[in-house]
Amino acid sequence: MGNGRYTATMDLFPQEDRDHNKLYQFYENLKNNKLTTTKCKECGTVKWPPRSVCPECTSEDLEWVELGPTGKVEIFTVEEVGVPEGFERPLIHALVELDGPSPLTIFSRLVDVTPDQLKEGMRVVLKVMEIPRERVTFAFKPV
């Protein structure tokens, strides 16, 4: 834990420094069991992952909107080798098509499921997990 690889695998953004991270709010929301991203107040664009500037119109006037928390698995991959130390094996990654008013498809880990239980189209729900140094990350688990 705590090596560069772990950080690169699990963190969407560096989250050590509040003053240098406009996306700090993402993790605050996650700690409250809410998966969120940014929506542009100017043009309405919703993108994943969250942005500090709208990629469509370059506005910095963005608001946080909640995603999911449920969705369905579009495709998945099972990673048996090269799993970083400290992670359960195998690592399962999936594209999850989120429900809700801002439907997006995002890449995420799946947990609490074994490879033989995996099915395309299976229903999943957000799971927020604590990781070292009082951080949080998220995955999806079967409903």
Encoded one letter per residue, x for contact with Zn ion by CB under 5 A and - for no contact, window 55-84 reads -xx-x-------------------------
Go through the chain and tell me how many residues it has: 143
The single residue among 21, 45, 70, 102 that binds Zn ion, judged by CB under 5 A, is 45
Part in contact with Zn ion (CB under 5 A); list of ranges 44-52, 71-79, 94-102, 133-141: 44-52
Based on its alpha-carbon atoms, the radius of gyration of the chain, rounded to whole angstroms, reads: 16
Q: Residue 40 in contact with residue 56, Cβ under 8 Å?
A: yes
Query: DSSP class of residue 115?
Result: G
54 in contact with Zn ion (CB under 5 A): yes
| The 46-47 sheet, strands edge to edge | 46-47, 35-40, 62-67
The single residue among 14, 18, 42, 60 that binds Zn ion, judged by CB under 5 A, is 42
40 in contact with Zn ion (CB under 5 A): yes
Of 56 and 112, CB closest to Zn ion: 56
C-alpha separations of 29 from 9, 57, 132 in Å: 20, 25, 18
Q: How far is the CB of 53 from Zn ion (least distance, A)?
A: 9
